[in-house]
A and B are shown apart, each in its own frame.
Chain A
Amino acid sequence: MFRFVVRRLLQMVLAFFGTTLIVYALMFAGQGDPIQALAGERPVTEAQRAYLTEKYNLDRTGVGGFFYRYFDYVGNLLRGDLGESLTGRSIGEILTTAWPVTLKLALIAMAVTIVVGVTAGVVAGMRRASIFDNSTLLLTLLVLGIPTIVLAPLAQYLLGVKWQVFPPTAGAQPSLYALLLPGIVLGSLSLATALRLTRTSVAENLRADYVRTAKSKGLLRRRIVSVHVLRNSLIPVVTFLGVELGNLMSGAIITEGVFNIPGVGFNLFRGIRTEDGPLVVGIVSVLVVVYLVANLLVDVLYAVLDPRIRYE
């Protein structure tokens, strides 16, 4: 196990450099003229151009210039300095204020997914082809079919504006209640997937040999399901949820935008819209680390859930 973790950590270093390099290159290649992008469509004066060029090392052109800037950037990154956005704000600071909000939202979404999704999945798996099973199938298909870009404004309009059950937007220091609606919207997508996964897995395991053995030796059905079946059925669900948590941590661009929650996705969206290269690359670099760690945790959890899995 220890060796496995070390090996994975080493791979993570490579993956980190690889992904940041790609992101940096894409952002860099995508920008026609970063100075012009920053200035909007106004003519930029020579003096301003000189000032910005020097500030962002833009005078080094070509491949050499690119790597100069990249290593300069990674060097600062390793020292914990994420740099400044094009409007002069510290990206580290932006992330420290954005992350707690995103985290809260992610946890609510996760809770919704687990409580509703996994429970309903287990029930549906145990009562295959029942009315409950069929109606959840229909509902999940519906939710999976509606993209967030439709679902979020719709929920906002109906529950926030029309019936006024929830506040329509959450804002910067939201109460738990204000985050509930965006959390449910955000969670509903992974909820549907988690539900389908759990259902299939439970249904399959119920037909497995060990369940028949357990039944024949007279174990209580409740014990069979809660101890044996559930534990084995959760393996694919945990994988999914782990990856999903990484996803949720990276912020939800659409949901955070619709409910005006200044989280990570909100800032990432602004960075992309205003072609703020440093901001986008800064946020994405940190997100890469989050993903890698989330994946590692999932792999370790496997071994805990299934003793048959051994890491060397």
Chain B
Amino acid sequence: MQVRRLAAWTALPLAVTLGLAACGGSGGGTGESNPDAAVRIEIAEPQHLVPTNTNETSGSQVLAALFSPLVDYDAENKPYEVAAESVTSTDNTTWTVKLKPGYTFHNGEAVTADNYLDAWNYGAYGPNGQNSSYFFEKIAGYTDLQAASGTPKAKTLSGLKKVDDLTFTVTLSEPYSEFKTMLGYTAFYPLPKAAFSAPGVLAEGYEQAPVGQGPFRMKGTWQHDAKVEVEKYDAFPGTKPKVAGVEFRIYQQPTAAYADVLSDNLDVIKTIPTENLSTAATDLGDRFQQSPASSLQVLAFPTFQKEFSNPDVRKAISMAIDRDEITKSIFKDSQQPARSFVSPVVAGYRENTIGAAGEFDPAKAKAMYTAAGGPAKIELSYNGDGGHKDWIDATCNQLKANLGVECVGNAEPKFADLLTKLKAKESVGLFRMGWVMDYPSMENYLGPLYSSNGSSNYYGYANPEFDQLLAEGAKAANEEAAVKKYQQAEDLLAKDLPVIPLRYGQNNFGHSTKVKNVEMDLFDRVDLLKIEAVK
């Protein structure tokens, strides 16, 4: 579930984290590469295999084999063209997408601009109920495709226009400098004509054997609860994969997958279960790997409440928490301590932007807390279904010891229950939140969470200067200029500290002795173009 979420992500063991193509690659098999072998990768049962309806990592992993994205991300997490020849704009509002010639769908159809427009219109049309529909909300005309009841006004996005067979333009409702960055996600894949039984109606059974334009094609159909098999598509014009095929094997429990990796019955496990983390290094040696993921865990303040409205109170609480200790003792280093508001997987990330507030200093914290008149009792609210109790309790104990306050953890059954209370501005004290990015951009970590009308701003944080900087960033001439504005905006957050950044997520993955060059991409998927089988 790698989309915009206030994650409760430890609740679903397989639905965790995103990744970065950073470390990895070196470990494991050392033998020669065998291009004729297939590799076996663990997934959970995908919910859907339609690009605009797939927003969890398992489905996204399968689609990454079947489709080739318009853009992908380089080592600095900046987008570069893959299926697109160019993605350009002069005003950040109208974007021209030129496609590379030579791409064909697995059924032989040539890929044209129409395939993109059809797929995006289908995804954006409200009554189709597509899970990733909101990815198209920046495109002009999106609201006309939505209706709370009845039929929406329009069936196609007014912002999408075909220029010629290999070119189309996208007009946004507001300027957005990082539109190109968005295009790497699953939701923006094209669909062949064969996917539709009538204009705007998806053919029944398409998702049982999706036809894409990517490096692999389906081998047979989706065998529910068992596996999805794909094989190399020879007519693919882009970078060719180094394996003959992939078997995505479906597991319900990561422990079962882990046992299979240990005995070479499975090649890659993407998320090693927490209970096995302590032994993974001995079990797998250098075949156990870790890489940064996009998720961020924070403790948020209800800044609309008087006792937490003073930034000094918030800073003092932050300084009284020993992040490193909790990451180590509770999470066994499966996550990393965080001291910034954006994840290291996006361009523009800087270490330690919260400065002194991120340093563990009990004496200073207590003095500051007393001076600012912080409340004598602190409550930490969390969702009880996500395995958060341990670290909440540990945090509470630290606050008790270091600030001399009373502290209790308050478990709500589900995160949704917590949100309901927050929306009603009921007093819940501090509350935990998690964030998983939609696309690798600083804006995605700032806009929805902290702008005055942000969709997930539950803390009542409103700073006109911050909003202004975000707006300037969206209009900036290029990505570098945008990042500068976003960094200034992040500095404002560091001053106000509406939330305390605590931990970054991390991919903890492992592989068998039969594969090498296993790397995770930005969206917690195994990089299928890099992985190699060993002879």
Contacts and interface: CB of A to CB of B under 8 A. Distances in A.
Interface of A: 32-33, 36-37, 39-43, 45-52, 55, 87-89, 94, 97-98, 153, 156-157, 160-161, 164, 167-169, 171-173, 256-260, 262, 266-267, 269-270, 273-274
B50 to A, nearest CB: 10
Contacts of B265: 167-169
Interface in B126-145: 126-131, 133-134, 145
Contact of A41 (B48, B147, B149, B416): B416
A45 B253 contact: no
Contact of B226 (A42, A172, A256, A269): A172
B252 A48 contact: no
B415 interface: yes
A160 B261 CA distance: 12
A47 B152 contact: yes
B416 A51 contact: no
Given A94-B224, A97-B225, A47 B262 contact: no
Interface of A is mostly: helix
Given A51-B127, A97-B224, A257 B252 contact: yes
Contact of A262 (B5, B250, B257): B250
Nearest to B434: A41
Contacts of A94: 224-225
Given A45-B134, A51-B126, A51-B129, A262 B226 contact: yes
B417 A260 contact: no
Given A41-B7, A157-B259, A258-B253, A172 B225 contact: yes
Please name the 8 residue pairs, one residue from A and one from B, whose CB atoms are nearest each other, closest first: A47-B126, A172-B226, A262-B225, A51-B129, A260-B256, A168-B259, A47-B146, A41-B5
Contacts of B249: 171
Given A41-B8, A97-B224, 20 more contacts: A36-B416, A40-B8, A40-B56, A45-B126, A45-B133, A47-B126, A47-B129, A47-B145, A47-B147, A48-B130, A51-B128, A94-B225, A161-B263, A168-B265, A256-B252, A259-B256, A260-B251, A260-B252, A260-B256, A266-B225
A32 B146 contact: no
A40 B149 CA distance: 23
Contacts of B253: 257-258, 260
A66 B259 CA distance: 44
28 contacts: A32-B414, A32-B416, A37-B416, A41-B7, A42-B1, A42-B3, A43-B4, A46-B146, A47-B129, A47-B148, A47-B152, A48-B130, A48-B131, A50-B127, A50-B149, A97-B225, A156-B259, A157-B259, A168-B262, A168-B265, A172-B223, A259-B256, A260-B252, A260-B257, A262-B225, A266-B225, A269-B252, A270-B45
Contacts of B149: 50
A72 B250 CA distance: 33
Interface of B is mostly: loop
A91 B467 CA distance: 48
Contacts of B7: 41
Q: Output the residue of B149, B259, B413 with the most chain A CB within 10 A.
A: B259
A181 B128 CA distance: 45
B309 interface: no
Given A48-B126, A50-B149, A51-B129, A41 B225 contact: no
A50 B252 contact: no
Given A97-B225, A160-B263, A270 B252 contact: yes
Nearest to A46: B148
B282 interface: no
Interface string B108-130: 00000000000000000011111
B133 A47 contact: yes
B227 A50 contact: no
A39 B130 CA distance: 11
B224 A89 contact: yes
Nearest to B127: A51
Q: Output the residue of A41, A89, A260 with the most chain B CB within 10 A.
A: A41
Contacts of B456: 43
A153 B276 CA distance: 12
B48 A87 contact: yes
Nearest to B417: A32
B225 A267 contact: yes
B167 to A, nearest CB: 30
B225 A98 contact: yes
Contact of A169 (B15, B146, B259): B259
Contacts of A98: 225
Nearest to A98: B225
B12 interface: yes
B146 A87 contact: no
B252 A266 contact: yes
A49 B455 CA distance: 16
B260 interface: yes
B148 A50 contact: yes
Interface in B400-441: 413-417
A168 B48 CA distance: 28
A45 B48 contact: no
B226 A258 contact: no
B6 to A, nearest CB: 5
Given A260-B256, A270-B252, A171 B12 contact: no
Contacts of B1: 40-42
Nearest to A39: B131
Contacts of B127: 47, 50-51
